[in-house]
Amino acid sequence: MSAVQTLTERQTLPMARAINEGLRAAMAADERVLLMGEDIGPLGGVFRVTDKLQAEFGSARVLDTPLAEAGIVGSAIGLAMRGYRPVIEIQFEGFIFPAFNQIVTQLAKITSRHDGTVPMPVVIRVPYGGHIGAVEHHQESPEAYFAHTPGLRVVAPSTPNDAYWMIQQAIASNDPVLFFEPKAKYWQKGEVDPTGAPGELHRTRVARTGTDCTVVGFGAMVTTLLQAADVAAAEGTSLEVVDLRTVSPIDYAPLLASVRKTGRLVVAQEAPGNASVGSEIAAHVAEQCFYSLQAPVLRVSGYDVPFPPARLEGIYLPDADRVLEAVDRTMHY
C-alpha cells in the first residue's frame, strides 16, 4: 500500500468527495478504522463515496460484504467488541430495516448492558432522503426510528465542510452513530477546510441570522430553508435559519435562543409529520418558549403516506414554497 494522501488545504468539493476525504483522514489516523458495505470496494459504492479507498488501504480494511444488512451490522458489533472502529454503509436508507433488530436491540444497548465497560464505536452511514427521482426504499427519511432509541446518536450534515469533519468525529465517538447523508446534496459543492477547527459534533448552528421568524431543519432541508429565506428577504421578511446538525441528542440552546428572539418557529423535514423529529422539536419549543411565542409552532413535512412514485416526489417533498406558506401563516396570527 502506498502512502495515503489526505486533504491538507482548503478546497471546494462536493459533499460525497468531502465524506470520502473524511473517511480517508480517519483511516490514515487510526488503523483500527475499517469500512464495510455492499459494493464499497472497487466500485466505490453506489454514490462513489468510498471511491479508491480500497486501493489505498487494502481489502482487509475496505470490505465488500454480501447483501445482508443484518449480517453487516452484526459483524460490526463483533468487531467493535474486539477493539475495531467499523464504519458500515447502508446502500439506501430503506435497506436499513433488515438490520433494525441488530441496531435497536443490540448495538444501542450493549454499552448500557455492560455498565459502560463495552464501548460501541460503530458508525452506520445512511444515504437518505429524496430529490433523486427514485422509488420507495430509495428516498425515505427514517431518522425518527433511531432518534427514538436511547443509546444511538443520530447526525446529519448539511454542508461539505460539516460532512468532512462530522464523519471523523462520528468515527472517534465511542457510542454508535447513525450518520444520515442527504444523498440529494452529494453533488452540491462547498468549501472544505481541513486546517480549521471543527465545531462540536452535537452543536446546532445558526446558518443565517434573522429577526421575524425562525425556521429549523437538518440535512438537505437546510438548503431549502436558505432558499426560502432568500425569497422571504426580497418580500421584506427576515428569516433566521437554524441547522440542527444532530437529530439526537438535539442541542436546543441555540434554537431556543433564536425562537425567544423572533417569537415564531417553522420546523421543516422530509419525513412524514406524525410522531416525527419535527413533532418533538415543536413540543419542546412550545414547553420552553411558551411566553415568547407570538404564534403556534408550525410544521412542514412529507405527507403521512408511503413514499410515492418518482414523478410525484415534487408534490410529496417540502419545498421553499411550502415553507414560505407556513411562514406566512405564522406571521399573520
Please give the Cα distance from 234 to 247 (Å, whole number): 31
On whether both 324 and 287 belong to a single domain, the answer is yes
16 lies in the same domain as 47? yes
Q: What is the CATH number of the domain that holds 262?
A: 3.40.50.920
Shared-domain flag, residues 187 and 216: no
Of residues 57, 55, 59, the one with CA closest to residue 25: 57
Is 270 contained in some domain?
Answer: yes
Number of domains in the chain: 2
Of the given ranges (172-181, 190-199, 280-289, 290-299), which has the lowest mean pLDDT? Answer: 190-199
> What is the domain range of residue 283?
205-331
- 156 lies in the same domain as 236: no
Distance of alpha carbon 96 from alpha carbon 137, whole angstroms: 9
Residue 202 bears catalytic tag: no
C-alpha cell at 99: 438490520
- Domain closes at, from 192, 226, 248: 192
Query: Could you tell me if 153 and 181 lie in one domain?
Result: yes
Task: Return the C-alpha cell found at 43.
Answer: 466500485
**Whether 176 and 308 share a structural domain:** no
pLDDT tens, residue by residue, 220-279 = 999 999 999 999 999 999 999 999 999 999 999 999 999 999 999 999 999 999 999 999
**Which CATH number does the domain housing residue 75 bear?**
3.40.50.970
Query: Is the pTM for the entire model greater than 0.85?
Result: yes
Of the candidates 114, 138, 202, 332, the residue annotated as catalytic is 138
pLDDT, tens only, 277-303: 999 999 999 999 999 999 999 999 999
- Residue-wise pLDDT for 40-71, tens only, equals 999 999 999 999 999 999 999 999 999 999 99
Write the burial class of residue 118 (CB in 10 Å: 0-12 exposed, 13-18 middle, 19+ buried). middle
Q: At what angle do helices 15-29 and 160-172 cross, to 10 degrees?
A: 30
Q: Report how far apart, in Å, the C-alpha atoms of 29 and of each of 6, 49, 57, 125 are.
A: 10, 19, 12, 19
